[in-house]
Amino acid sequence: MRVLVCLKQILDPDVPARDFEIDPAAKAAKRGGANLVTNIFCENAVETALQFREAAGDVKVTALCYGESSAEDCLRKAMAMTVDEACLVEREGNTNPDAAAVGQVLAAAISRLEQDGGPFDAVLVGRESGDWGTGQTGGVLAEELGRPALGFVESLRPGNGGITLRRQTDDGIEVAEAEPPFVVTITNNEDNVPRIPKTRDVMMSYRKPLRKMSPAELGLDGDEIRNGFSSFEVEEIFVPTDEVDCELAEGDTLDERVDQLAHKIHEVVASIG
């Protein structure tokens, strides 16, 4: 079986709010001193795919990214986590294409990889990205590929002639039987926290195959894809100023301070009735 994981490189979402700035001309975050990292849900997806491989045996896991050349780091890291092979579709410029454009590129790349290496039983994407986080790519990709999809999946296991999926809903867990090929979006749980690569695997990752292609090679309209915003664009972006003054409990003893806190909490709770 073959499983594909889509990875996106993003500006580190752990940048503290005080260091975060918007570039008004680009209508996007300033890079500043921030690192570029793999979106966390994509790493959860890699981990989920690797665990599926461990449970099912004979599974090849491929990582795919549409990004700038720096995104090669994300793919190398995935291979260090022991993903078998990787592919980078090189993005020109640093525009921020919308999900409609990204979905087209990823679908075209997937078709090309399938022509060459056979079909992917499962395509995994993150539930949303830590930068723009619109969480639309998985759905768009499913439609571009004409495959069924399920969101918020936390694990894949070999099942009754197909693949068994567990996914999170608002009030619990749903178990689904899926007939490949399909697309899922991956969410986090305690079991798919991404593994830390072993030193040896980090070294091995540089020997694994990393294929590169361009949107033009995939027969895509360069301009539309480059400029991205075919479906939506950012009209405006700003940093909200919503900091408030916090009244800290004061007093000489812990008892006094906790007493103040208790009275404040009680006041609010009592007002609800």
Ligand X SMILES: Cc1cc2nc3c(=O)[nH]c(=O)nc-3n(C[C@H](O)[C@H](O)[C@H](O)COP(=O)(O)OP(=O)(O)OC[C@H]3O[C@@H](n4cnc5c(N)ncnc54)[C@H](O)[C@@H]3O)c2cc1C
Site for ligand X, residues 101 to 160, rule: CB under 6 A: 130
Residue 168 or 227 having the CB closest to ligand X: 168
End-to-end CA distance of the chain: 58
Q: Residues 184, 149: contact at Cβ < 8 Å?
A: yes
Binding mask 110-149 for ligand AMP (x = CB under 6 A): ---------------xx-xx--xxxxxxx-----------
Q: What are the Cα distances from residue 271, in Å, to 244, 265, 266, 267, 268?
A: 22, 10, 8, 6, 5
Per the document, the length of the chain is 273
Binding mask 4-23 for ligand X (x = CB under 6 A): ---------x----------
By three-state DSSP, how is residue 1 classified? coil
Instruction: Give me the least distance between CB of 3 and other proteins, in Å please.
Output: 16
Give the count of residues interacting with ligand AMP (CB under 6 A).
Answer: 23
- Piece of the chain touching other proteins by CB under 8 A; list 52-60, 98-106, 112-120, 217-225: 98-106
Q: Residues 154, 191: contact at Cβ < 8 Å?
A: yes
CA distance 102 to 149: 17
- Beta-sheet pairing, 182-186 with 172-178: unpaired
Residue 40 as a binder of ligand X (CB under 6 A): the answer is: yes
From ligand AMP, ligand X, other proteins, none, interface partner of 176 (C-beta below 5 to 8 A by class): other proteins
Element (H, E) at 63: strand 60-67
Residue 190 as a binder of other proteins (CB under 8 A): the answer is: yes
**In which residue are the tokens 């990004």 written?**
67
Q: Residues 127, 138: contact at Cβ < 8 Å?
A: yes
- Piece of the chain touching ligand AMP by CB under 6 A; list 1-9, 15-23, 210-218, 254-262: 1-9
Residue 40 or 78 having the CB closest to ligand X: 40
Site residues (CB under 6 A) for ligand AMP? 6-8, 39, 41-42, 65-67, 99, 102, 106, 125-126, 128-129, 132-138
Which residues of this protein are in contact with ligand X, per CB under 6 A?
13, 40, 130
